[in-house]
């Protein structure tokens, strides 16, 4: 993932093309985050997975208005016409609009978990992610029962009826998850996702 390219002058355009050529030569895929509107580069360089160039859910960390569910159904008919987009999906910490408050640690989103789950279908994002930790996901009504809880229980431990943890070990494992959550919120709530089938570029200026 390459970030902080918030301009579209000739120098930046040349840099992006050189970077994609270098990445392709090394069999690497690239995601552009913090970039100007896409111009179809993924047709010349299929190793370009997606570009941001959209009001993203990270605005929920600092913007009083937040990112509304209406935004998610507007983007496919506007910005996404220019190509796939990098969008930070994943958190199920949904709240009603009137209760929304921006925050950096463990940020919330406006709406229900169904809004977030629907975004995986509606948005063309070739690097999707679940940008949160197992414990808040396992704690929602959507995952406490049935197949979802069974799989999440392997990671979250307690409070997951389908989990594989033994009863006497579950509370200890849950405390470990909670401690990791506490440590992470003191640093950053953003999770960097890597592409499952291959390597990924992470930051930096690759110009020779």
Residues designated as active site: 3, 58
Please tell me the distance from the alpha carbon of residue 77 to that of residue 70, in angstroms, as a whole number. 12
**Inter-residue contact 180 to 167 (CB < 8 Å):** no
Q: What is the CA radius of gyration of the chain?
A: 19
Pairing outcome for strands 109-110 and 94-95? parallel
Give the number of other Cβ atoms within 10 Å of residue 127's Cβ. Answer: 20
Give the number of other Cβ atoms within 10 Å of residue 201's Cβ. Answer: 19
Please tell me the distance from the alpha carbon of residue 78 to that of residue 172, in angstroms, as a whole number. 48
Question: Residue 95: helix, strand or coil by DSSP?
Answer: strand
Token readout for 150 is 């069974």
Closest listed residue to residue 66, CA positions, set 98, 104, 110, 132: 110
Cα–chain center distance at 158: 25
């Amino acid at each position: 993932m390459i970030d902080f390219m918030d301009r579209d002058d000739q120098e930046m355009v040349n840099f992006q093309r050189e970077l994609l050529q270098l990445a392709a030569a090394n069999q690497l895929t690239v995601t552009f985050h913090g970039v100007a509107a896409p111009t179809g580069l993924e047709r010349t360089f299929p190793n370009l997975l997606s570009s941001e160039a959209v009001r993203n859910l990270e605005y929920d960390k600092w913007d009083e208005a937040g990112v509304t569910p209406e935004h998610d159904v507007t983007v496919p008919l506007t910005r996404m016409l220019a190509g796939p987009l990098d969008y930070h999906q994943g958190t199920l910490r949904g709240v009603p609009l009137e209760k929304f408050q921006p925050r950096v640690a463990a940020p919330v989103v406006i709406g229900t978990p169904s809004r977030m789950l629907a975004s995986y279908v509606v948005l063309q994002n070739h690097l999707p992610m679940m940008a949160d930790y197992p414990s808040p996901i396992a704690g929602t009504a959507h995952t406490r029962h049935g197949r979802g809880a069974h799989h999440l229980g392997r990671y979250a431990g307690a409070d997951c009826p389908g989990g594989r943890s033994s009863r006497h070990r579950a509370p200890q494992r849950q405390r470990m998850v909670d401690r990791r959550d506490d440590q992470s919120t003191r640093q950053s709530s953003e999770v960097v996702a890597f592409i499952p089938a291959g390597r990924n570029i992470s930051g930096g200026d690759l110009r020779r």
